[in-house]
Amino acid sequence: MSVEEATFWEPYYQQGTLRWDLGQAAPPLVELLQAAKPKPGRAAVLGCGRGYDALLFADQGFEVVGFDFAPSAIAAATALAQAAGSSAQFLQRDIFELIPEFENQFDYVVEHTCFCAIAPEKRPDYVRLVRTLLRPQGELLGLFFTHQRPGGPPFGVTSEEIQQYFRADFEILSLTPNLNSIPARQGEEHIGQFRLKPLESI
Ligand SMILES: C[S@@+](CC[C@H](N)C(=O)[O-])C[C@H]1O[C@@H](n2cnc3c(N)ncnc32)[C@H](O)[C@@H]1O
């Protein structure tokens, strides 16, 4: 079964065997919101899972849409949002099919354990997707899983590779080793803020 199919991911949600699920928003994204204080706007959370990061951004005044193609992830995220009285919305979609519907619709794209979940050969498509979802000057706020183990998912990546993928289209405002990762990911995460370059400079 391929990671590119929802049927790969859906059983994990149905069985509740979610090794990646923190049960809360990722602490580095909480800290990024406090430290960088991005101006609230419209945000897309890609591969949102049960939606904790989407709820975090909605709580901070962002207008959030979380996308995931696993139906049980979207059902769980929607139920959590309703229970919390959150404005976050969740849509069951393949992220690689969001264009043209969502072209130029977002001020931010939020990345957390989606880039490591897609097949590595789809990474250029992911960069193109983020570029196309964003409005001018839009930003990618990303927590990347930079482990170096072979295979996946989660598929590892280095900080240098991330920069190679994104730097043609994005100004890398920051990309640093993350200091407040959960214990299982200590020393294996980078947090970054990338701003879309003006079209004429790409
Ligand atoms: C490792 S999980 C992380 C989920 C969530 N970000 C979290 O941290 O709890 C990866 C998620 O990406 C979703 N996903 C992977 N490829 C996708 C695609 N092409 N379109 C939509 N969702 C995708 C999976 O269904 C899964 O929920």
- Is residue 169 included in any domain, yes or no? yes
Provide the 8-state DSSP code for 48: -
| Ligand 1 atom closest to the CA of 116, numbered from 1 | 1
Amino acid at 146: T
- Is residue 145 included in any domain, yes or no? yes
Residues touching ligand 1 (Cβ under 6 Å) are 9, 20-21, 47-50, 67-70, 73, 94-96, 112-114, 117-118
Q: For 192-197, what is the mean pLDDT?
A: 97
202 falls in which pLDDT band (50, 70, 90)? low
Q: Over 85-116, what HEC string results?
A: CCCCEEEECCHHHCCCCCCCCEEEEEEECCCC
Number of domains in the chain: 1
- Is the pTM higher than 0.75? yes
- Classify residue 130 as exposed, middle or buried by CB count within 10 Å of its CB (0-12, 13-18, 19+): buried
pLDDT in tens, 46-66: 999 999 999 999 999 999 999
CA distance linking residue 17 with residue 56, whole number of Å = 23
- Is residue 6 included in any domain, yes or no? no
Q: For 26-51, what is the mean pLDDT?
A: 97
Q: How far is the CA of 39 from the centre of ligand 1 (A)?
A: 26
Q: Which of 3, 12, 14, 69 to mutate to test the pocket of ligand 1 (most atoms within 8 A of CB)?
A: 69
**Average pLDDT along the chain:** 96
- Is residue 32 included in any domain, yes or no? no
- Classify residue 23 as exposed, middle or buried by CB count within 10 Å of its CB (0-12, 13-18, 19+): exposed
Q: For 134-163, what is the mean pLDDT?
A: 97
Q: How far is the CA of 114 from the centre of ligand 1 (A)?
A: 5
- Is residue 13 included in any domain, yes or no? no
Q: Return the pLDDT at 200.
A: 76
* 134, 105 Cβ separation under 8 angstroms: no
- Is residue 202 included in any domain, yes or no? no
- Is residue 99 included in any domain, yes or no? yes
Domain that holds residue 65: 38-193
152 falls in which pLDDT band (50, 70, 90)? very high
Q: How far is the CA of 48 from the centre of ligand 1 (A)?
A: 6
Q: Return the pLDDT at 156.
A: 97
Return the CATH number at 104: 3.40.50.150
- Is residue 30 included in any domain, yes or no? no
Helix (H) or strand (E) holding 83, with range, is helix 71-84
Q: Is the pLDDT of residue 14 over 90?
A: yes
| Ligand 1 atom closest to the CA of 112, numbered from 1 | 6
Helix (H) or strand (E) holding 66, with range, is strand 63-68
